[in-house]
Amino acid sequence: MTDVPVLEVDSLGKQYSVHIPGRWRQHTFNAISDVSFAARKGETVCIVGESGCGKSTLARVLANITPPSFGAIRFEGKSVELLSGRNARAHRKNVQLVFQDPYASLNPRLSIGRIVSEPLENFTSLDAAERHQRVEETLVRVGLAVRDYDRLPSQLSGGQRQRIGIARAIVADPQIVIADEAVSALDVSVKSQILNLLQDLQDQLGLTYLFVTHDVGVVHNIADKLIVMYLGRVVEQGDGERILAAPRHPYTRMLLASVPHADPARRLAIDVKHGEMPSAMFPPSGCVFRTRCPHATELCQQLPPNVVNASGDVAACHFADQI
């Protein structure tokens, strides 16, 4: 791991306009708002939060699939948010995705070899023989066999299909891999195998990971940096080990309290108000988490919290130092 950021995100935001029945004007809401962080080469940045918090939108913006509404994205010091045409194509080689559903993300009519070779056809000048050899090497690297080259996705298990998705992501030698809920659809034992595979590939290839998940339980052993999102906003961010050991935002504590532990001594006790996440189109005033926070006061209703910085970590809570 180096100290030079390979990816820098500065005040990134994405807005959508939607038509609400009964209203003449379209309503604009922020799917993500004011997201800033840096990822170094060989580092794993975990982005966690409940469904609807903006994690996948952030992943799509960072992969240059969806353009941002405001803010800046820099890859190796160069702005990428406005890239188009040939330049955008060149950038996509360096940022690849592993998707959540290991079956829906694979074309059922194509062989495994054909699926994995597509990035090589798009981003490299290798001839057919060289592509075939590279694909076979990559299949072996992700724990599959050369004989799987001519098989179809339907002939493989869920864990094997996800290995194909990983092979497709790394075959063209990217620098950043965005794993969007990459293990959430897998069995527990298979999930562990895939996480171990991702860590091995990171050590071998020097990959930078952006690991998107709603399951805080899977990030304990992989997170170098942790970003906790709620309603499109970052509520806590910093060193993964420090945050998981002593979370400073009530929402982070709520997520950690939801992780089941057989040992009662490891359970995090917290009093959390019942209720669902509010609509992202109509977030609460002041602190967006106040409707579910046991520590909320009138101040939380009136003013958005300032970001409290301590020991290099940030927490968007009026009472971060008192919880």
Average pLDDT over residues 119-146: 95
Condensed to tens digits (0 to 9), the pLDDT of residues 203-235 reads 999 999 999 998 888 888 899 999 999 999 999
Calpha distance 209→222 (Å, rounded): 10
CA distance 106 to 268: 39
Tokens of 78: 């160069």
Q: What is the mean pLDDT of residues 233-240?
A: 93
pLDDT digits (tens, 9 = 90+) for 298-313: 999 999 997 767 656 8
H or E element: which one contains 91? Answer: helix 85-94
Instruction: State residue 73's pLDDT score.
Output: 92
List, as one string, the DSSP characters of 63-77.
TTSS--SEEEEEETT
The pTM (predicted TM-score) of the whole model is: 0.91
CATH number of 5-316: 3.40.50.300
Q: With bands split at pLDDT 50, 70 and 90, how would you rate the model's confidence at 59? A: very high
Locate 165 and state its tokens: 């998705």
188 band by pLDDT with thresholds 50, 70 and 90: confident
169 touches 96 (CB < 8 A) = yes
| pLDDT, tens only, 244-300 | 988 999 999 989 888 776 666 666 655 555 567 888 888 899 999 999 998 889 999
Q: Please state, in angstroms and as integers, the Cα–Cα distance from residue 76 to each residue in 5, 46, 221, following that order.
A: 7, 20, 27
DSSP secondary-structure letter at 165?
H
Contact between 164 and 144 under an 8 Å Cβ cutoff? The reply is yes
Range with lowest mean pLDDT among 131-140, 200-209, 314-323: 314-323
pLDDT at residue 100 greater than cutoff 90: no
Indicate the pLDDT class of residue 130, thresholds 50, 70 and 90.
very high
Three-point CA angle 148, 113, 103, nearest 5° = 80
Amino acid occupying residue 310:
A
User: Where does residue 24 fall: left (phi above 0), alpha (psi -120 to 50 degrees), or beta otherwise?
Assistant: alpha
Helices 112-123 and 128-141, packing angle to 10 deg: 120
For residue 98, the surrounding DSSP H or E stretch is strand 95-98
Give the number of other Cβ atoms within 10 Å of residue 15's Cβ: 14
Cα–Cα distance for residue pair 125/184, rounded to 1 Å: 35
Q: What percent of the chain has pLDDT over 70?
A: 92
